């Protein structure tokens, strides 16, 4: 599958990206890809090893005469976000990604593409096999479970890496270089809420909010896009006067993706169904107006449900849960004053579920300030304690503090100006690049992050601009060669 990829330039990079598309690799299921890459490295005579967590390192000795050049680490993550359109059955643990070219972009059919971070991984592999390249000692570090938990970076062995310079290849903007990123943490809320039988005077109704764009919960958090969990809860609040009781709720699939769809089943008094549907029709018009030009595909529907024998929350429990969700932090919390135009703190209501009275929420808080991240988590705790829920924080990881005076950054900017005729934009990203975690474990590393132009990451709209891949590849090759030479 995906043979057309090998006709794109630069061919070595796209050939490796074809392998990534053909090898299923959602978070937690990278083993087959790791085994393939180990066999590939052995075929080229390259040494490889793994740390205790399973992160993979492949090494290549320096070109003759460049053994004393600073060691360069090419870093990316092997896993990809697994998102498919609801009408498209796709098993991310078994099925390859089907790609196609349209208007200068590479896209996937009804699923995420995996350009995040497949482009970076493919580029690192192509560098390792490029015998025409003059370079110092090379290490390619491929981490696991970045998209689900940052687990690979958080558990990376200390004292293992040998390089002095780290090139993170997980950025998504052409003509930009990143020197800092937000830290983050998962906030998990759970509760067992009281339920009761669905009465004879009630009927199960299925409430659905669909058609949103979704996207990356950090990079796209300031784009004004709808959050399906936030909006469906707003619809539930709209039905509060009809004594609706929640039977179940399922919204979002990943805490780091803006949820595109959310569904709830309600026990609604029979005589209130028509009035409830009319109220929702008016709300749909309001929401479409609010999101015009951003999420024009929004749909809000109420149809008969099928939940024979199901239990519904009590009216008080339904009311308290909906109110708490409605009050929960969501979206941009604060813009940075230190880095103008950059989101400082945000939260994504990523995954919400209710089944048999058991409530679960997983939100992803991001911030350039660890104190602000901790405060949002504490606000969740304070809010959901009011309904008897338990809150915990998991997988906290630090941000990456910018070093604008970095010699590595200066060399990259000079190369960019010489080769492309313009200075790169120097950026701090509101997303969880692994650089913050790696920098905490290896504080002497000098780091930057750059990549090709990717849009729609973490959603089935994900795409990569083909021309930008060639530009990215040329800059990476030039930088690796430049770092093998002494500073003038």
Q: Dihedral of the CA atoms 317, 319, 322, 324 (nearest 10)?
A: -80
Give the residue from 397, 381, 356 showing the smallest Cα distance to 152. Answer: 397
- Dmax of the chain from CA atoms? 84
d(CA 28, CA 26): 6
Which listed residue (30, 79, 116, 333) is catalytic? Answer: 79
- What kind and span of H or E run contains 217? none
Q: Which residues of 11-35 are buried (b: 16+ CB within 10 A; e: fewer)?
A: ebbbbbbbbbbbbbbbbebbeebbe
Q: Is 146 a catalytic residue?
A: yes
Give the residue from 180, 179, 182, 122 showing the smallest Cα distance to 413. Answer: 179
Asked if residue 210 lies in contact with residue 418, where contact means CB atoms within 8 angstroms, the answer is no
Residues 6+ apart with CB under 8 A from 241: none
Q: Which residues of 356-382 are buried (b: 16+ CB within 10 A; e: fewer)?
A: ebebebbbbbbbbbeebbeebbebbbe
d(CA 65, CA 240): 74
Q: Is 190 a catalytic residue?
A: no
Going 73 to 458 to 287 to 231, the CA torsion angle's sign is negative
d(CA 67, CA 357): 63
Give CA separation, 103 vs 106, 145, 263, 412, 463, in Å.
8, 32, 34, 30, 11
Which listed residue (30, 51, 116, 146) is catalytic? Answer: 146
Asked if residue 255 lies in contact with residue 227, where contact means CB atoms within 8 angstroms, the answer is no
Task: Provide the CB-side half-sphere exposure for 295 (13 A, CA).
Answer: 29
Active site residues: 79, 146
């Amino acid at each position: 599958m995906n043979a057309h990829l090998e006709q794109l330039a630069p061919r070595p990079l796209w050939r490796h990206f074809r392998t990534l598309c053909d090898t299923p690799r959602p978070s937690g299921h990278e083993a087959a890809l790791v085994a393939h890459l180990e066999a590939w490295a052995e075929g080229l005579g390259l040494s490889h090893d793994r740390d205790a967590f399973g992160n993979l390192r492949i090494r290549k000795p320096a070109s003759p005469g460049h053994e004393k050049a600073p060691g360069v680490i090419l870093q990316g993550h092997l896993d990809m976000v697994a998102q498919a359109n609801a009408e498209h059955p796709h098993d991310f643990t078994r099925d390859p990604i089907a790609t196609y070219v349209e208007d200068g972009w590479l896209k996937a059919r009804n699923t995420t593409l995996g350009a995040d971070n497949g482009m970076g991984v493919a580029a690192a592999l192509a560098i390792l096999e490029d015998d025409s390249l003059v370079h110092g000692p090379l290490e390619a570090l491929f981490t696991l479970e970045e998209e689900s938990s940052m687990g690979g970076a958080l558990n990376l062995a200390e004292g293992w890496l040998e390089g002095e310079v780290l090139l993170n290849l997980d950025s998504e903007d052409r003509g930009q270089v990143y020197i800092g990123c937000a830290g983050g943490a998962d906030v998990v809320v759970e509760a067992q809420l009281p339920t009761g039988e669905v009465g004879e005077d009630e009927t199960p109704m299925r409430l659905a909010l669909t058609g949103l764009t979704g996207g990356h919960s950090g990079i796209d958090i300031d784009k004004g896009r709808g959050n399906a969990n936030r909006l469906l809860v707003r619809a539930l609040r709209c039905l509060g006067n009809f004594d609706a009781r929640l039977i179940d709720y399922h919204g979002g699939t990943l805490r780091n993706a803006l949820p595109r769809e959310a569904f709830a089943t309600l026990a609604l008094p029979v005589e209130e169904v028509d009035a409830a549907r009319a109220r929702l029709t008016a709300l749909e018009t309001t929401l479409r107006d609010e999101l015009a030009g951003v999420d024009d595909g929004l749909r809000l529907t109420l149809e008969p449900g099928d939940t024979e024998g199901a239990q519904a929350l009590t009216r008080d429990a339904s009311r308290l849960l909906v109110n708490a969700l409605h009050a929960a932090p969501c979206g941009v919390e604060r813009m940075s004053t230190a880095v103008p135009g950059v989101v400082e703190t945000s939260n994504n209501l990523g995954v919400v579920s209710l089944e048999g009275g058991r409530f679960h929420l997983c939100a992803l808080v991001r911030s350039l300030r660890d104190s602000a991240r901790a405060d949002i988590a504490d606000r969740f705790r304070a809010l959901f304690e009011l309904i008897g829920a338990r809150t915990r924080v998991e997988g906290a990881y630090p941000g990456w503090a910018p070093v604008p005076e970095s010699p590595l950054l200066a060399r990259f900017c000079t190369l960019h100006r010489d080769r492309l005729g313009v200075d790169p934009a120097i950026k701090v990203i509101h997303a969880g690049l692994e650089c913050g975690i790696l920098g905490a474990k290896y504080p002497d590393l000098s780091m930057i992050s750059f990549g090709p132009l990717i849009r729609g990451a973490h959603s089935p709209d994900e795409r990569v601009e083909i021309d930008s891949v060639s530009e990215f590849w040329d800059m990476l090759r030039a930088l690796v060669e430049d770092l093998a030479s002494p500073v003038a």
